Structure 1
Amino acid sequence: MACDFIFVLLAFWFVNFSLRGLPGGVKALTLPLIFLLTIINIIIYWIGGLYNTLWAFTGTREVLQIGFVTLIASGVDLAIGLLIQNRLRYVQYIFVWITLFMFALALRMSYRLLRFVRDWLSARSRRAHRRVLIIGADDYGSMLVSQMQDGRLPLGTPVVILDDNRLKWGKRVHGVKVYGGIDKLGKVVRIYSIDEVVVASPNILNDQIKSIYDVAASCGCDVRVSQGLEDSLKMDITSPVKLREIDLNDLVGRKEVQLDIDEIRDYIEHRTVLITGAGGSIGSEIARQVALYDPECIILFDWYENLVFELFNDLKLVFDKGIKFCVEIGSIQDKVCLERLFIAYNPSVVFHAAAHKHVPLMENNPAEAIKNNVFGTYNVASLSHHYGVERFVMISTDKSVNPTNVMGATKYLAERIIQSLSQQSQTHFACVRFGNVLGSAGSVIP
């Protein structure tokens, strides 16, 4: 409020003396009148709610509010000038409003700007004090150290390097010591109080990235990896080094398998696809992938309505291109319900992902595992055969191989059912055994 008082005084002073050269001999506002108008304007600001808003969050709504309140204040100033017969020209009151508006807005926006600059400097200071360990004393690692030291890469301060090449141990890269091999990671992190580990050598990604991540995570360090040495050597050395957060693919230890897009599209495009267990982590991802190949209709079948409803909303939001999404609630153990579904939609492709898959729970509930995984699979598969489904894909598990638990045994029996039907049906039956699926519910890698 005190700042507004000073700025309003300055606004009247600026307007009072800026147009003195105009012809007509307009009488200048007296100092007592300026103080009176300033006090009245501050009261109007208060009534107009300008002091009920946090200046740090000034936005479009606040700008409009400031414009409206200052316009009202200028109108009151004009009315007072008319009453006491000591007024400026009408055009000068326009300048009064513009000046009040600009000063009030500048005051609030400058406060927001100062907070932004303060937060930016604080964040930059924190980054500058982050202690970074670099893995790889090769060309890419050298470039990374150089750019961190001269500020082009505001990641932190490089304090130590690890590399498995013994000839580099004890040497320095731009003044940063190569301490030893990667096997010393845990020890070095504790000695140097490391905040972040950056994997600079692409040769490490396929071999040791998981162990590096495990050690760093256990010590509370963030981990980033390089985009690739080949790309870095092609780019301008003045450009910042490209880093990225570690992702699940880095933990697999092999390259991602590329899909045959054309073959997939051939049996999904313009067809009706039924997905059982669509609300689960695997079923929902199958639905998202199937939607990429322009099916005519996707039927999301699950017994738990909340998850499948969320999936339905996500798909409608992302794939707004004429695909029909249908949600059906029911159990694969209910053959009557399933048959009604096959009659209504006549699916061409079925992905059977519905199953009880948690090993410890199925050990305690073997009857439920059998009813759902064995008899439920038989219901879906037999109806697919009966109603002439073109392709049927069952999602199985590696635990069905020489099963040692109830869940694995039930999935083994389900596979035998599919194998039996495939020998007597025109439907193309297939089983796909999954291991631990990255990012799925119940995976060993969350």
Structure 2
Amino acid sequence: MSSTNENELKKEKKTNIRWMLAVYDVLIFAIVSIILLVLYGGMDKLSPTGILQQVCLSFVCIFGGRFIGKIYSQIWRYGGIQCYVRLFFTDVIAFCIYLCLELILPVQKITFARMLSLASLNLLGALALRMMYRYAYKCANQETKGGQILSILLHLFSGLDAESQNDVQKIKIAIIGAGRIGVGLAEELLSNSETTYIPRSFIDINSEKVGRVIHGIPVLSENEATFEKLRELEIQEIVFAIPTMDAQKKKLLYEYYKKFGYKLKVYDYPTMRTAGGKRHLREFDIEELLFREPLVVSDERTNAYYKDKVVLITGGGGSIGSELCRQLAKMEPKKIIILDIYENGAYDVQQELKIAYGNALDLQIEICSITHRKALEKVFDRYHPQIIINAAAHKHVPLMEHNCVEAIYNNVFGTRNLVELCEEYHAERFMMVSTDKAVNPTNVMGATKRMCEMIVQSASTHGTVKYSATRFGNVLGSAGSVIPLFKRQIANGGPVTVTDKRIIRYFMTIPEASQLVLQSGAMANNGELFVLDMGQPVKIMDLAENMIRLSGVQGIEIVETGLRPGEKLYEELLVKTEELDKTSNSMIFIERDSALSPEEINTRLNMLREVCETGDDSQAREVLRKAVPTFKKPEEVNRVAEFVVHQKKSDPEREEAVAI
């Protein structure tokens, strides 16, 4: 059969269904009219002529109103509450017209009560008919006796056949959570014939729901949802539909069902969404596999601080910088200036924010390096930024080991340029994005960032600008991080490379890191070095295994390649509460650190400038060790770390995280 003929057949079928519904409404009208106008006599008993007059008058009003209100143009099997409300108001208007005409026209009169009963019973019958039709269409495809009966009745009275689940080979799922979100997902799947999923059970802990049935779907308790029971229900996938579930609880359920080999999904927003959007069925994101509670560090005070301010973000096209732009855009700043040496990244952020905010956001792009002093001066002179956030830096640890001179030029002297220009152009605040690698650094990148922290803290002792630095751990999904590497390796069929199976790291999401920078900067008085409580450490080996399981690809091997140059075996704890001062946010602390004098900073910068002019990376590394006394060799730190871990394992009563 040609596609044209199929379309004509579908059109004809829809037309038949519409008129068939009108015929059923007429039958309901006939039954109600016989009961109220013929069988019921009452005090105002009608003659045959009077009955005919009332039938004709009420028929014209009710059905005329429904046709004018396009009641029969709606597809009732997908009808929502708005369809029923339209039918209700259409019949109310029709009744008012009927009442007026009955008073005006020379017809035999009936009481108001009988007129109201006639209209009300017709409306009740029409609503009931449509509800039964919609219910039958939604549930006739269930593989139960009830579903089979509904399927027969649906075909008998409407001519429609319910689609067989076997024909379309739908994936049978169990939904964890029988609340508003889980039930909403089930309704959507049941009413959409095109979906590839069919819900077979809910899993919930609410005793009021367990053992009951929602939309024909049984609600099981967690204890009842055993492997045998799920196999009996032919469950193929498990869907988490409780966004507020505790992270540890989610981890336990994830591991429990993963152990049975089920594919696990989430019904919620994407974790890395920027704005808008709706919930949808998706895979677990990497952020969720860490099973840590997301930190919310933004508040009204922070939003108010950035409102109507001119903000310059260096490295604004990078992972952290771009998210800073997104977060700031929500706070209604006067202007955002994105400064970056990589034009494609800056362009992408610009286009994204233009689509989201249009002309409501004043956004400017400047392409230059923070090491280019004259180009930076032009930017400061043109915009006179009030707040400067320095997110521009070389951050890749192994690459900076081989490019020590470039790391010093960009990270150290780029920061120095910005600090000097902030003073020269009377900025209000300078905020530096730092890293946990700056804590007792074992690599060039961490040492340069520690030097930047010292520059910023020193400037706070004699400048007019308020300075602060914010230190956090590894960022999920950032350029150069381990997760994108694992994704590429899995996509290529493996192997997945882990430098050392013992490595642990502290993780946070890009939005969390960005909100932390913005809030800490807003609360800074001057010279603070903020650090974040990063929570529990994550073993990189566990992360790699989870990602492989998540991908569904079989036979992916994990290969240990050995520590890279400058790499620590165990990342140090950022937050040692006995050594830190608290802030108004329980997750943000201030490190106690003494600022160096301007003379001492200048001495160290001169040492670095002289060695960089030689272009010798090895010599530059040694001078950097002198400039940053805490810069240690990784072999020394890793040796101590292994000893500490060995001591902790030999004492089972000690459960603290590794802290060097």
Structure 1 length-normalised TM: 0.55
| Mapped partners of 2:317, 2:387: distance in 1 | 18
Matching of residue 197 in structure 1 with residue 238 in structure 2: yes
| % same residue | 38
Amino acid in the other structure paired with 2:435: T
Q: CA 1:329–1:198 in structure 2 vs 1: closer, same or farther (change >3 Å)?
A: same
Q: CA shift at 1:350, angstroms? A: 0.6
Preserved CA contact (<8 Å) 2:171 2:236: yes
Q: CA shift at 1:4, angstroms? A: 8.1
Q: CA 1:436–1:193 in structure 2 vs 1: closer, same or farther (change >3 Å)?
A: farther
In the other structure, the counterpart of 2:250 is 209
Q: CA shift at 1:188, angstroms? A: 10
Q: CA 1:226–1:387 in structure 2 vs 1: closer, same or farther (change >3 Å)?
A: closer
In the other structure, the counterpart of 1:398 is 436
In the other structure, the counterpart of 1:370 is 408
Match of 1:224 among 266, 284, 287: 266
In the other structure, the counterpart of 1:435 is 473
| Mapped partners of 2:412, 2:164: distance in 1 | 57
1:31-82 superposed Cα distances (whole Å, 9 cap, x missing partner): xxxxxxxxxxxxxxxxxxxxxxxxxxxxxxxxxxxxxxxxxxxxxxxxxxxx
Preserved CA contact (<8 Å) 1:127 1:156: no
Q: CA shift at 1:162, angstroms? A: 10
Preserved CA contact (<8 Å) 2:396 2:445: yes
Q: CA 1:390–1:180 in structure 2 vs 1: closer, same or farther (change >3 Å)?
A: same
1:383-411 superposed Cα distances (whole Å, 9 cap, x missing partner): 11222110111111122122222222211
SS at match of 1:425: coil
Preserved CA contact (<8 Å) 2:200 2:235: no
Preserved CA contact (<8 Å) 1:129 1:157: no
SS at match of 1:273: strand
Where in structure 1 are there 5+ consecutive unaligned residues? 6-119, 228-241
| Mapped partners of 2:231, 2:449: distance in 1 | 47
Amino acid in the other structure paired with 2:318: G
In the other structure, the counterpart of 1:287 is 325
Matching of residue 355 in structure 1 with residue 367 in structure 2: no
In the other structure, the counterpart of 2:298 is 259
| Mapped partners of 2:414, 2:163: distance in 1 | 59
Match of 2:198 among 156, 179, 192: 156
Q: CA shift at 1:194, angstroms? A: 5.5
Preserved CA contact (<8 Å) 2:389 2:433: yes
Q: CA shift at 1:303, angstroms? A: 0.6
Q: CA shift at 1:365, angstroms? A: 2.1
Amino acid in the other structure paired with 1:403: P
In the other structure, the counterpart of 1:424 is 462
SS at match of 1:307: helix
Q: CA shift at 1:338, angstroms? A: 1.2
In the other structure, the counterpart of 1:235 is none
Amino acid in the other structure paired with 1:198: V
In the other structure, the counterpart of 1:48 is none
In the other structure, the counterpart of 2:421 is 383
1:201-223 superposed Cα distances (whole Å, 9 cap, x missing partner): 77853214356557878958241
Q: CA 1:3–1:279 in structure 2 vs 1: closer, same or farther (change >3 Å)?
A: closer
Preserved CA contact (<8 Å) 1:209 1:250: no
Q: CA shift at 1:348, angstroms? A: 0.8
| Mapped partners of 2:358, 2:280: distance in 1 | 34
| Mapped partners of 1:4, 1:198: distance in 2 | 40
1:358-394 superposed Cα distances (whole Å, 9 cap, x missing partner): 2222223222222211111111122112221101111
Preserved CA contact (<8 Å) 1:281 1:440: yes
Q: CA shift at 1:442, angstroms? A: 3.7
Amino acid in the other structure paired with 2:424: H
| Mapped partners of 1:370, 1:211: distance in 2 | 45
Matches for 1:47-126 after TM superposition, within 5 Å: none
Q: CA 1:382–1:333 in structure 2 vs 1: closer, same or farther (change >3 Å)?
A: same
Where in structure 2 are there 5+ consecutive unaligned residues? 6-160, 270-278, 485-660
Amino acid in the other structure paired with 2:248: D
| Mapped partners of 2:224, 2:345: distance in 1 | 47
| Mapped partners of 1:201, 1:373: distance in 2 | 43
Q: CA 1:371–1:226 in structure 2 vs 1: closer, same or farther (change >3 Å)?
A: closer
| Mapped partners of 2:4, 2:171: distance in 1 | 41
Q: CA shift at 1:191, angstroms? A: 11
SS at match of 1:257: coil
| Mapped partners of 2:162, 2:281: distance in 1 | 23
1:321-364 superposed Cα distances (whole Å, 9 cap, x missing partner): 35432211111111122122212221111111101112222223
Preserved CA contact (<8 Å) 2:370 2:376: yes
In the other structure, the counterpart of 1:310 is 348
Matching of residue 333 in structure 1 with residue 374 in structure 2: no
SS at match of 1:223: strand
1:103-138 superposed Cα distances (whole Å, 9 cap, x missing partner): xxxxxxxxxxxxxxxxx98896588642335557xx
Q: CA shift at 1:3, angstroms? A: 9.5
| Mapped partners of 1:333, 1:122: distance in 2 | 66
Of residues 330-339 and 429-438 in structure 1, the stretch that sits farther from structure 2 once superposed is 429-438
| Mapped partners of 2:245, 2:2: distance in 1 | 61
Q: CA shift at 1:315, angstroms? A: 2.3
| Mapped partners of 1:134, 1:221: distance in 2 | 12
SS at match of 2:475: coil
